Amino acid sequence: MNESLVQKKEVLQGILRSHAPLLIAYSGGVDSAYLLAEAVETLGAGQILGVIADSPSLPRRALREALELARKLGAPVEVVATRELENQNYAENPRNRCYFCKAALFSELENLAAQRSFRALAYGENADDMRQVRPGRLAASEFSVLAPLRDAQLSKDDIRALSRDMGLPTAEVPAQPCLSSRIPHGTPVTTEALAMVESGEEWVRSLGFRVFRVRHVPREDGQLLAKVQIAPEEMDRINAVQWKLEEGLKAVGYAEVQLDPVGYRAS
């Protein structure tokens, strides 16, 4: 590990120690998994609690994997039901949809922290996230939620490197934002739409693809289009399974399947 990374890790550990006992928003993704793992190692399991927000926008596979990883880490974790779909501001799917999601989560965390005497709340924003427009950051600010990875100047690459050093399985996993992100802004987010996206992506995954998205796009005639984006490095496999891809997605309920020729690229 290079000296710069060692220094950043030491800063992170100092932040964690100064705010313990700590409640951590945990999704099982690259950032929050590393934050939880480092908190367990630095503070001990008795000084932390990971909280997973469960709603129809979280794939069941992701929930199972997050819980299993926490178990292996020896990290205490609880699942709380968030009801953002009941909030019309979220369900209408505006461009700041993520604000309402994070506000719902942080409200739950704030109440839990007060009940259990936790000193602070934290989530997994990293230093690279500051270059992007992230409505959830406003919610974090309103609820005084800490971002220890960001404040330690840890980039996504840094976090992956530190995760590899700790042997975390999340070190190499692709980013996986919530299922609502597959629905175009302005198109309502419903449990039915989220279930279709989840089933569609499980089908694509079953065909051996690793990095992809199934975009849930309403057509003018009221039918639904599945716009499939596959990572460019995996596109050479598509011809052999395209008919299976289309067959499975139509079985899920999509009237049309369209393969994006450009492929999927993380923003």
CATH number of the domain enclosing 126: 3.40.50.620
Residue 167: which region, alpha, beta or left (left: phi > 0; alpha: psi -120 to 50)? left
Helix (H, G, I), strand (E, B) or coil at 266: coil
Q: Is the peptide bond before 169 cis (omega within 30 degrees of 0)?
A: no
Number of domains the chain contains: 2
**Looking at the structure, do residues 16 and 84 belong to the same domain, yes or no?**
yes
User: How is residue 149 written in tokens?
Assistant: 């990875």
Under DSSP, the state recorded for 21 is S
Domain-located, residue 54:
yes
Residue 184's Cβ-count burial label (10 Å; 0-12, 13-18, 19+) is exposed
Cα separation, 116 vs 237, whole angstroms: 51
**Looking at the structure, do residues 104 and 9 belong to the same domain, yes or no?**
yes
Cα separation, 9 vs 165, whole angstroms: 12
For every residue of 139-189, DSSP letters joined together read HHHHTT-B-HHHHTT--HHHHHHHHHHHT-GGGGPPP---GGGGS-TTSPP
Domain-located, residue 180:
no
Domain-located, residue 225:
yes
Helix (H, G, I), strand (E, B) or coil at 81: strand
Q: What residues contact residue 117 under an 8 Å CB cut-off, 6+ apart?
A: 21
**Looking at the structure, do residues 143 and 204 belong to the same domain, yes or no?**
no
**Looking at the structure, do residues 51 and 164 belong to the same domain, yes or no?**
yes
Range of the domain at 233: 190-259
Domain-located, residue 230:
yes
**Encoded amino acid at 95, one letter:** R
Helices (H), 20-96: 30-43, 60-73, 88-91
pLDDT at 175: 86
**Looking at the structure, do residues 73 and 163 belong to the same domain, yes or no?**
yes
Helix (H, G, I), strand (E, B) or coil at 207: coil
Task: State the DSSP H helix or E strand holding residue 110, giving kind and residue range, or none if neither.
Answer: helix 97-116
pLDDT by residue for the chain (267 residues), tens digit each? 788 999 999 999 999 999 999 999 999 999 999 999 999 999 999 999 999 999 999 999 999 999 999 999 999 999 999 999 999 999 999 999 999 999 999 999 999 999 999 999 999 999 998 888 788 999 999 999 999 999 999 999 999 999 999 999 999 999 889 999 999 999 999 999 999 999 999 999 999 999 999 999 999 999 999 999 999 999 999 999 999 999 999 999 999 999 999 999 875
Instruction: Give the domain-ending residue among 138, 172, 206.
Output: 172
- Whole-structure pTM value: 0.95
Domain-located, residue 128:
yes
pLDDT at 121: 98
Domain-located, residue 10:
yes
pLDDT at 30: 96
pLDDT at 267: 59
pLDDT at 78: 97
